[in-house]
Every structure is written in C-alpha cells, then in structure tokens.
Chains A and B, each alone.
Chain A
C-alpha cells in the first residue's frame, strides 16, 4: 500500500522524512553480544590459579614437543660417547659431574647406558603425551557419537548393553596382549589396542547422561514435532553436555598416561625401542632405592602432567557450564 505523503507547512519541510517499519530490525536483541566460547575463556581465566596450571602445562608441552627437536634422543645412539665408557653408566648427577665437565643435559644424571636422563625424559614424555592425546581424541569421538545414539535408541540400547557387559568382563590386559600379538608391537598398534574397546566405556557414560536428559520436556516436544533422532542427539542434547564431556576428557587424558605406566610395568607395553614414561618408570622401579635419580623424574613428570591435565580439564569443564557465565 502506498503511503500518502503528509504535508506539513510549519517551515520544517525537508528536515524530516518518514521511515518504513523495519520488521528485521525490530527482531534484534539489544542485549550485549554473547559468545559461548569467549565466555568460557573469560570464566576460566578469571581464576588466577588457572594461569599457573596452564603455564606449567605449556611448559611441559614445550619441553616434550619442542625440546627433543633440538636435543634429539634415541636409544643406543652412536653419537653418545658414554656408551663406550661403562663408568658413566647409572651415574647420579653428583657422580657424573665429579669426573666430567658440566653439561646441562646431564643435570639429572645418566641412565643405564650412559644416556642423558634429561633428554630421555622429555622424549619419553613426548611419546606418552602423544599417546594420551591421540587415544583420547579417537575414543572420545567414537564414544560420544555412539553413546548419544545408544542413549536415544531403545533397540540399540538392548544390544549395546549386552555387548558392554560382555566386553567389560574380558580382562583388558588379555585383550591387549592378544591384539598386540596379532598386530605387532609399536606406537600405532598400541594406539589401536587402546582404542579398539576404549570407546565403549565413554559411550556407556555418555549413554547414561543422555538417558537423564532425553526425557525432558523440550526433547519430548521436539520429538513430537517430528525431529529425527540424529538432530535430537547432536543439536538438542550434546550441547547440554559440554561440561560433562570436558570433565570426562580431563579424567581420560591422565588415565592413558597411567595405563601406559601399568602396561609397561607388567611387560606388555610399547616395544623396547620406544622411549616412554612407563618404560622409564618400569626400568627404574626395581632399583629405585639405589638409584632414585632415575626413578623420581619420570614419576614426577607423569604425576605433574596428570594433575595439571586433570585440574585444567576440570576448570574448563566448570567454565563451560553456561550457568557460570553470569
């Protein structure tokens, strides 16, 4: 409908003009812009202790992934002259510097074949951390997707619960030893062995969480309106669970470091050519009273890595709960 121009003769012609009603602008919300992840960051960094933990984490990550680039380490390295001098084997830092000039990489003493313990430690930490990160990513990805469907579909639930109880009864060590026998020993087969059933526990956890949320009214409404199950799972329910998932990641990450230590301890871990935290702890554990300098550094690194990952993960989890964003 065309508007009739209203004629005003009060000398203000031309200063004002009429505008149309803008239906688009009228829908705009004038509240301050809210970005979910920005708020998560804001809440997370509000806590001063998180800066410290994050700092330690970055330091450890730097030492694990960057330091070995400058000081590469490998077992039985021909460049290691100490191999030829048995008197340098198993030296504590004090013993070593008594007979040798100061060198930073021997600050922790030497390993059983004269290797620099400091360099070995960070290469080992790189292996263990990569393992933890890769396994967590794979298991979480599979676990979350399948867990969401598991929780929503009742037919799938019946089958999966049985499978879960059966696989849960099989000793994981056995599964692990059979798999590493079939596919060989090495970093990637270790990853495969840890992920082949590792996702099941995560999926079960997610399933329980989904069951708690799925029958709330908004999902019921969504279902009645004909939304399909995948949309309900990934649009309605998963965003609700971000804090739960982040907390889960926080417990998963250190658990792989611990598990690697355990498997190395019982002798079915990575191959002898891989340097890992578990292998180091295991090798030093029998003589830990005599040579504490070989035992404590890997233990401390794994403990610190685990604690930092756990605390940072917990705090990210807390921060990712939108109710804390006020």
Chain B
C-alpha cells in the first residue's frame, strides 16, 4: 500500500506540473499580452512615450516580461562608487538621439542588456512649437529600458520556488539590508497609481516616506519627511499625507496633516513641496494634485533603519485569547502560533504558503480565506495597553501584526503598539469566501447523501413500479434541464410560494439563516439525483448476482437480503466519491452563487478568466487540481477501508 501510494503521489506531482506548464502556455503565450489593457481606463489617457512605458511596466507587474530601466541600472551599479556630480551625469538621459553620445553610460547599458538577450527600447522626445517656444509635448519624455520575455519554465520555476517561505528571527534585518532606506533630495514625483502600489509593496507598510524640497540642506533633508498613508479600501480616493519632523534619533513628530483627493481626470501626478517661512520654520507647504513634466530625481543617500533588539522566540500568555501563544521578535509576524475564535482556531505564521498574487496585488489564498463584508469595529485594548482596561474601538486583528518597515512610524502608533509590529489585518463582519461556499456545499452534500441514498434504495426495491418511474422522471429532469433554468424555477417557487429571501446582498433580511435555504436546495437537487441514479444502478446490478440468488434460495427474507447483503455491497462505490464531494465544496458553485449573490469562491475562477487575471488563474487552478487529486487518492484509501477485498498493493492480500 505504501509503495503504491508513493507511486500515485509521484504521478500526481508530475501531472500537476504538466497542468501548470499547459496553463502557463495558454495564459502567457497563446493569449496576446495586449489583452490585459481591455477596460483599462488609464491607458487611453496616456500618450506617446508614456503609453509605451506604461504598457511595459504593466507587463512587468503582471509577470509577462522582465523590465530594467536605465535609472535603475545606474542606481544599482554606480550610486555607491560615484560622487554626486558624476552620478548626476551618469543619470543624464537626453531628449534627442544626437545627444546620446554625451553619456557613455547609455551605450554601456545597451551593450550590457543586449548581450543578455534583452530588447532595448529607446524613446526620444517630440516637440511642439519652434525655436525658443520649443517644448516637449506632453507624454513625450525620453525613456530607455530593456525588456525580456519570461520563458514558460522561468514562470513555472518562480511559481514553485515562491510557494513556501519560512520565518526566522532575522527576517527584519534581512529585509532592511536588502532595501536600505533612501532619502531623496529634491522632489519626488509619483506618476501613477501603480507607483503607489510599488511603494506599498516596497515598504511593506501603509506609510510611504517621500520628500522633499530642493532648497533644503542635507541636514534638513534628514529632519523633515513627508509621510503619506494610503487607505487600502479605495486606493484612489483617500490619501492622507503628513509632514513629519524627525530628530535623527528615532522620534517623529507630526507637523501638518491633510487629506487630499486626487482629481478625477485620472492623472495622479502629485508633487509636494515643503518650504521654510521667514523664521526658518517649516510650516508652509503646498500639495498639488497635478503636474506632468520632468521628474527631477536626484542623488539618493542611503540610511539605515532601527535595529531590532532582543531577537528571539518565546511563549507568552496571550491576553487576547486567554491561551498560550508563541511570539517572535525579529520575525515578520509577531504571533507565530496562536489561538483564536476563527476556524481552524489554531493558527501559525511560521511557514508561509503562497500561490502567487492576483492583479490587484492580493495573495491568491487571502482572496479565498480572508473575511469579507464591512469592517467590524470592536472595543479592544491595544498591545501596549493590555491589562490596563483602556479600550478603543478598532477593527485591527492584533494576532496578525507584522513588522512595519516604514521609516516613519508616528510615536503615537509606536506607543500604542509597544513595538514596530503595527501592520495588522482587519476584522470584517462576514466569513471568508471559502466558508460561504463550504457551508452551503456541505449542507447540500449531506442532503444529497441522506435523501439520495434512501430514495435510490427505494427505487431499486420497487423496480419498474410507480415509485421507480417517478424517481426516473426526476433524474431525467435534472440531467436534461439546464441547471440555470431549474435554479430559477426553485427561486421562483421558493420566493413566490414560501416567501423565502433569495438575495444575500439584501441587508434588510433579518433571519439570515433563511437565506441559505434556497441555495442549499438548488445545490442539493442535482446531488440527490446523482446519488439516486447510481445507488439504483449498483443495487440492481447486485440483485442479479449469484450470492443474492443463493441467499434467496437459502430462504433469507427479502428485507434481510437487501439490508444485510445488497446495500452493503452497493454502497461501496458510493463511499469512493465521499472525499471528492466534501473537498469539492471548497471550489464553490458558480451559477448558484451568482443567482443568489453569495460572495463565495465559485465566481473567483470564472471572473479571473474573463478579466485575464493570470496570477489568480494559476493559483486557483493549482489549488483546485491538487485538491481533486488528493480527494481521488483519499477515495481510494477509503475504499480499502470499507471493503477489505480491495487492495492496491500489487501482491494482493495475503
């Protein structure tokens, strides 16, 4: 058995890898990459060189290509070795082709990446006006970048290599070392919403450090930092930005704050200026929501972040759950193992399992398993206030706290949290997508087994009589009528005759459990028909077998023959499907969920496919095909448990 299982598992892994190869080929090679711009409002607003660059940066984000910009190349290779003047020169990217020769680094960049099989794109400016009035047309700034298509195997490799990550006490150090903080002198211009996303990812926190004023001296630069917070919910609408004072030793003071809304034209250009007033105090500032034009990136100086003290792991008494918990310092997550009131009640953050990211930068798994609905405010104690009884209404789930890499945490925040573990997920009102689908699915499955099997047995016993014929009529109805049609029939009957609610999005329904009745019935109907069909078939097959004839000739009663002999044997193939139907509930039911507006998992894959969300498609397909293979193997194992005659080892039973 062990050897057989091992062989099965090896075969399964092989076929999953093949599935992924085919999927990647279908998604990235067969479908033109232009397809991701369908329905992208930003693309139509871009023009000229900006448009070209925007497309390539999107392709990089969605995993089609590798993109290296000239500025990135110079920054990575020369920021440490060159002094300020030389660095500025190396960064110089001329508007016109004839000037390219002035900066030898351009040719160096081109040669370097051409040798590595990249395609070089060099875009020159175009002008409007003549002579002194000559101006660069909007959107025609010069660009230089190198691009290369990822190969199928590269994508496959990165999918599997990013699957598991382990937390260690040196996580925070490593992160800080890899992304040393940069303090930029001069303006920092954010060109698009996507750059906000990049910043978000880069800093791994809700705070972005941006700066600053070109008039500031180097010392001042270190002292004043513009901090911009982005609320995740509606990325475009709410930016909060603060000007912070940093004393150089770890304390930040908030000077100004403002909320500003980005204009509706879709141009998210954004420049912040911090100015000194006559007394040398920084209290004037202007925030503007527009501005194209040049992007005066200048020298970047590297600083380093606070060092983590007392690295290590310990077991503490967790006040939030009143259970012990394992916490770490220096790890990405604060809580490594903890208990709470959410399924499956014990959680771990030591091994992180990832199936990639969707286009909106969420983890595929968090799409499935995160709570849905509105934010839930609870009276909670912040970590620093634990035990003091001081509560505040907050939606944060402190168990999910991760280390904030942001250079600018307000002192207020640090004092509330007592540490830099300040980035938390939020509690929401409703359960996760998987929980919705699984609950409805499992109820329907139970109904299918508990109603379908007895009915199937009944049909077999009354073969060719009226009961059997009615049953067959029902089975034919389910097979022949499109599921969409009978789901609407059930909805019509349920809501017209019994007044049952049929819309999950309808918040006026007070008895929430009534909402589940129609979806469960809709899902159970085909399940019941399936069980009836197969149980009847197996029972009738058994009825004609020799051992039944023998039992009958020995004078056993019909009842005894059915209950003790036929049922026992007929039910075996049914058992084989049980793991599959339970695990299958996780993947949801598309039509049922759409008809009743259930926020389940059923629509995820189909919507991802229609939106060309390649990351999500890959992650979900991997998950669902793995689950289906696991359930097949489990079914086989279960078969050997209920029927000792079946053995999968090649030698047979001894």
Contacts and interface: CB of A to CB of B under 8 A. Distances in A.
Contacts of B617: 171, 174
A311 B629 CA distance: 34
A182 interface: yes
A251 interface: yes
Interface stretch (B16-24, B271-279, B292-300, B429-437): B16-24
A162 B11 CA distance: 9
B interface bracket (residues with beta carbon within 8 Å of A): 35 or more
Interface stretch (A92-100, A142-150, A263-271): A263-271
A114 interface: no
B610 A268 contact: yes
Given A170-B22, A170-B23, A174-B617, A257 B482 contact: yes
Given A257-B482, A258-B483, A174 B621 contact: yes
A165 interface: yes
A285 B594 CA distance: 11
Contacts of B32: 181
Interface string A298-324: 010011001101110010000000000
A261 interface: yes
B591 A303 contact: no
A230 interface: no
Contact of A299 (B15, B479, B485): B485
B31 A181 contact: yes
Contacts of A289: 492
A262 B628 CA distance: 22
B484 A166 contact: no
Nearest to A306: B480
Contacts of A288: 488
Given A178-B27, A181-B35, A285-B488, A173 B605 contact: yes
A302 B489 CA distance: 14
Nearest to B27: A178
Contacts of B23: 170, 174
A151 interface: no
Interface in B601-617: 605-606, 609-610, 617
Contact of B606 (A173, A257, A303): A173
B5 interface: no
A257 B481 CA distance: 9
B452 to A, nearest CB: 19
Contact of A307 (B15, B480, B606, B624): B480
A244 to B, nearest CB: 14
Contacts of B15: 162, 165-166, 169
Contacts of A314: 476
A281 interface: yes
Interface string B625-654: 100110000000000000000000000000
B590 interface: yes
B77 to A, nearest CB: 40
Contacts of B605: 171, 173-174
A295 B14 CA distance: 46
A181 B23 CA distance: 15
A241 interface: no
B16 A265 contact: no
A172 B212 CA distance: 53
Given A181-B31, A265-B591, A303-B485, A166 B479 contact: no
Nearest to B603: A266
Nearest to A167: B22
A177 interface: yes
B481 A303 contact: yes
Interface in B1-52: 11, 14-16, 18-19, 22-23, 26-27, 30-32, 35
Interface in A241-300: 251, 254, 257-258, 261-262, 265-268, 281, 285, 288-289, 295, 299
A289 B491 CA distance: 10
B480 A266 contact: no
A174 to B, nearest CB: 5
Contacts of A285: 484, 488
Contacts of B624: 169, 171
B590 A303 contact: no
B477 interface: yes
Contacts of A162: 11, 14-15, 18
- Of the listed residues A167, A169, A175, the one surrounded by the most CB atoms of chain B closer than 10 A to its CB is A169
A165 B17 CA distance: 12
Nearest to A163: B18
Given A170-B22, A173-B605, A309 B484 contact: no
Contacts of B484: 261-262, 265, 281, 285, 299
Contact of A262 (B35, B482, B621): B482
B26 A175 contact: yes
A303 B14 CA distance: 41
A166 B622 CA distance: 12
B19 to A, nearest CB: 5
A306 B481 contact: yes
A169 B35 CA distance: 24
Contacts of B27: 174, 178
A3 to B, nearest CB: 58
Nearest to A181: B31
A178 to B, nearest CB: 5
A249 B85 CA distance: 79
Nearest to A303: B481
A254 B479 contact: yes
B610 A306 contact: no
Given A166-B18, A182-B31, A177 B482 contact: no
A311 B35 CA distance: 44
A265 B591 CA distance: 8
B610 A171 contact: no
Given A174-B26, A178-B26, A178-B27, A303 B482 contact: yes
Contacts of B492: 289
Interface string B586-597: 000011001000
Contact of B482 (A258, A267, A311): A258
A53 to B, nearest CB: 11
A120 B482 CA distance: 19
A175 B27 CA distance: 9
Contact of A166 (B22, B30, B591): B22
Nearest to B480: A306
Nearest to A265: B484
B480 A178 contact: no
22 contacts: A166-B18, A166-B19, A169-B15, A170-B23, A170-B621, A171-B621, A171-B624, A173-B606, A173-B609, A177-B609, A178-B26, A178-B31, A181-B32, A181-B35, A182-B31, A257-B482, A266-B606, A268-B609, A281-B482, A285-B484, A299-B484, A309-B480
List of 5 A-B pairs having minimum Cβ-Cβ separation, nearest first: A306-B480, A169-B625, A258-B482, A299-B485, A307-B480
